Amino acid sequence: MIAPVVELRGVSRVFPAGDVSVTALVDADLVVEPGDYVAVVGPSGSGKSTMLNILGLLDRPTSGTYLLEGIDTSTLSEGQRAGLRSRRIGFVFQSFHLLSHRTVLENVLLATIYNRMPRSERLPAAEEALRRVGLGHRMDFLPTRLSGGERQRVAIARAIVTRPALLLADEPTGNLDSATGESVLAFFDELRNDGLTLIVVTHDDKVSQHAERQVRLRDGRIERAA
Amino acid sequence: MFLALRELSFARGRFALMGSVVALIAVLMVLLSGLSVGLVNDGVSGLKKLPVSSFAFEAGVDESAAFTRSMVEIDKAEMWVDVPGVADAAPFGLTLVNTRTDRGVDIDLALFGVELDSWLLPTAATGSDLSGPGQILLAGTLADEGVAIGDVVVVDQIDKELEVVGFVDGQHTFGHVDVGYVDLSTWQEIRAGARPGDEVPNHVYRWVTAIAVLNEGDAEPDVAAADEMAGTTTMTLEESFGASPGYTAEVMTVQMIQWFLYAISALVVGAFFTVVAIQRRQEIAVMRAMGASTGYLLRDSITQSVILLVVATAVGLGIGLALGAGLSATEMPFALYPSAVAAASAFLVLLGLVGAAFGVLRVTRVDPLTALGASR
């Protein structure tokens, strides 16, 4: 039996804030199997970003266990977590976060450097990822010359070039007009059909409807994990 | 490397600005280093060039003005010669006088009185060595100021005439005035204020400023016991520098300025790299999210800082050395020792790196998703 890509067991995250402490995530249980497409939804302040931080290994839970592909991440060092992040997780951000003074190709190549992909495989992998998102003809462009939709596709290419197990997307269509957003979501569907596991954090119903499962957060608690 | 270099060339203006600040600091540092060495030389180069291990002054003399205040009886030299570990000891006289040459050049002199058969007697680089009373052997630098062999130097007020027989090589100064070597008895007469033709009382010839002591090899004579026995107060050659007029105050002032400069450069460079790192916050956060470890980010930023610091320091050094070469030719006391300049440059680079590391560390601690501007 293959381990779930993500397994949260009783995960809580408490932020100390002076004398009082803020509990951003309470006792969260979540299992995401390989190939799942999950949308995490909820109002502002509901703990979505905390959950994304923890899922992306950018933050550690205060209590509880997070297994990524069966690996208990709580026992790993920062270096090991960074390594795991570079190999197994891809990020797509709302505002793309491409490095503006590097070309499209270099932006995608960056991910392969941290990933410690063998040098000879980097360029072919980056070119392949860009062709896959339909930007094979834009490789030498600077991101500033691309449209919003194209930038987000570069960001997706950057996220998938390392062939991660899990793609985390944070409001991926938030900065795009609806037609462009729709095309990005269609591409997510395509990735999902190819077997990639996706977790999308959003407050947009149109986005969450693409997912096969919605996880609704309210005040740090998971309301429904259908 | 790839990232750091790209950023250096991309943000050219920003880094050029910072580079010029670092370069200017390096220039200032070179000039200060030269000035500090120059001041030291101007104060005590005459003493430094003596083949002396230590000076035995009058017991209980004011150590900050020992050369001008001390009076030691000449026969104490013989007592010092017998001290175990001492190779030789000789009487030494020092006094500051105003003189004028017969060609009308005013020169202030530190007169060093030594016995003609003494190991203290210097060798002339041009002209001839001291061979009798009434002669003077001058610091080589005076040859550039219109003094020539055969000139007669007249000591103010007592009208004592001294014939210039030669020059010793290079700079010999004490308390910022040039050194002139004279025969010990001549020195004693000048010190006593005896005019030509005056009858000089015998006791004048019994006193000198100090006994110059030369140790045997690396031997360390029991100075305390010897002082006790001879009734003297001994200072090593290095310690005696402090007895040169104004020496301690000058050195402390320049050193304090140097330390301030180091502190300022560390702060400036550190603050700059902190600002750069804050500007790169988002970029650093993206790189972290993509799996770059803190170590990688540190290496990346440090590489960038090293390039900036080394290049800027090198440019500053070049300018500083060029300016220094110009200054050396002027009245300003200025001398550069490669070791001092190298150490100061390395220190500047190091301090800059510490500042840069702090800047990056601060940013790598920022919550990546906050920096990424997630809108929830």
Interface predicted TM-score (ipTM): 0.74
CB contact under 8 A, B372 and A93: yes
Split at pLDDT 50, 70, 90, the class of B87 is very high
- Give the count of domains, chain A: 1
How do strand B177-183 and strand A166-170 relate by DSSP bridges? Answer: unpaired
- Does residue A29 form part of some domain? yes
Q: What percentage of chain B has pLDDT greater than the value 90?
A: 40
- The per-residue pLDDT for range A66-110, each reduced to its tens digit, is 999 999 998 998 888 888 988 899 988 888 888 887 889 988 988
Question: Strands, E, within A43-107: which ranges?
Answer: 63-68, 71-72, 89-92
Domain holding A52, by residue range, is 6-225
Residue B270 CA: distances (Å) to CA of B8, B203, B241, B295:
17, 66, 38, 19
Are B309 and B269 in contact by the 8 Å Cβ rule? The answer is: yes
- Partners of B288 on chain A (C-beta within 8 Å) are 58, 82
| DSSP code string of B138-202 | EEGGGGGGT--TT-EEEETTTTEEEEEEEEESS--EETTEEEEEEEHHHHHHHHHTPPTTPPPPG
**Least confidently predicted of B104-108, B305-309, B331-335:** B331-335
Reference B189, options B106, B133, B110; nearest CA is B133
**Least confidently predicted of B26-30, B93-97, B273-277:** B273-277
Any chain A CB within 8 A of the CB of B13? no
**At residue B47, what is the residue type?**
L
Residue of A nearest to B376 (CA): A44
At what angle are helices B12-48 and B338-364 packed, to 10 degrees? Answer: 150
| Neighbour order of strands in the sheet with A166-170 | A89-92, A166-170, A197-202, A37-41, A213-218, A221-225
Are B305 and B19 in contact by the 8 Å Cβ rule? The answer is: no
CB contact under 8 A, B374 and A52: yes
Proportion of chain B in helix, strand, coil states, percent, rounded to 5:
55, 20, 25
pLDDT at B375: 41
B291 has pLDDT over 80: no
B361 has pLDDT over 90: no
First to last CA, chain B: 35
- CATH code (residue A177): 3.40.50.300
Residue of A nearest to B1 (CA): A113
CB contact under 8 A, B288 and A102: no
- Does residue A160 form part of some domain? yes
Residue B295 pairs in a beta bridge with: none
- Does residue A171 form part of some domain? yes
Lookup result for tokens 């991440």: A73
pLDDT at A70: 92
pLDDT at B235: 93
**CB contact residues (below 8 A), chain B span 281-300, against chain A:** 282-283, 285-296
Any chain B CB within 8 A of the CB of A218? no
CB contact under 8 A, A58 and B368: yes
Of B282, B286, B291, the CB nearest to A86: B291
CB contact under 8 A, A93 and B288: no
- Does residue A105 form part of some domain? yes
Residue of B nearest to A100 (CA): B283
pLDDT at B376: 36
**Mean pLDDT, residues B52-70 taken together:** 90
Of B282, B293, B376, the CB nearest to A97: B282
**At residue B86, what is the residue type?**
V
Tally the residues of chain A: 226
Cβ-defined contacts of A56-60 (< 8 Å, 24+):
A56/A85, A56/A89, A56/A91, A56/A168, A56/B289, A56/B369, A57/A81, A57/A82, A57/A84, A57/A85, A57/A89, A58/A85, A58/B288, A58/B289, A58/B367, A58/B368, A58/B369, A59/A13, A59/B367
pLDDT at B208: 95
pLDDT at B332: 76
- Does residue A1 form part of some domain? no
CB contact under 8 A, A101 and B10: yes
3-state secondary structure of A204: coil
Enumerate residue ranges in chain A where pLDDT < 50.
none
pLDDT at B94: 95
Residues 6 or more apart in contact with residue B128 via CB below 8 angstroms: B165, B166
Of the spans B183-192, B261-270, B274-283, which averages the highest pLDDT?
Answer: B183-192
pLDDT at B57: 94
Q: Which of A13, A58, A92 to mutate to test the interface with B (most CBs of B within 10 A)?
A: A58
- Partners of A171 on chain B (C-beta within 8 Å) are 374-376
CB contact under 8 A, A101 and B296: no
Element housing B6 (H / E): helix B2-10
**Mean pLDDT, residues B267-274 taken together:** 80
Any chain B CB within 8 A of the CB of A56? yes
pLDDT at B121: 92
pLDDT at A180: 87
How far B276 CA sits from the closest chain A CA (Å)? 15
B115 has pLDDT over 90: yes
- The per-residue pLDDT for range B171-212, each reduced to its tens digit, is 899 988 999 999 999 999 999 998 888 888 999 999 999 999
- Partners of A85 on chain B (C-beta within 8 Å) are 289-291
Q: Which two tokens stand for residue B154?
A: 């007249």
- The per-residue pLDDT for range B208-243, each reduced to its tens digit, is 999 999 999 888 889 899 999 989 999 999 999 988
Any chain B CB within 8 A of the CB of A89? yes
**In whole numbers, what is the pLDDT of chain B averaged over residues?**
86
- Does residue A49 form part of some domain? yes
- Partners of A47 on chain B (C-beta within 8 Å) are none
CB contact under 8 A, A102 and B6: yes
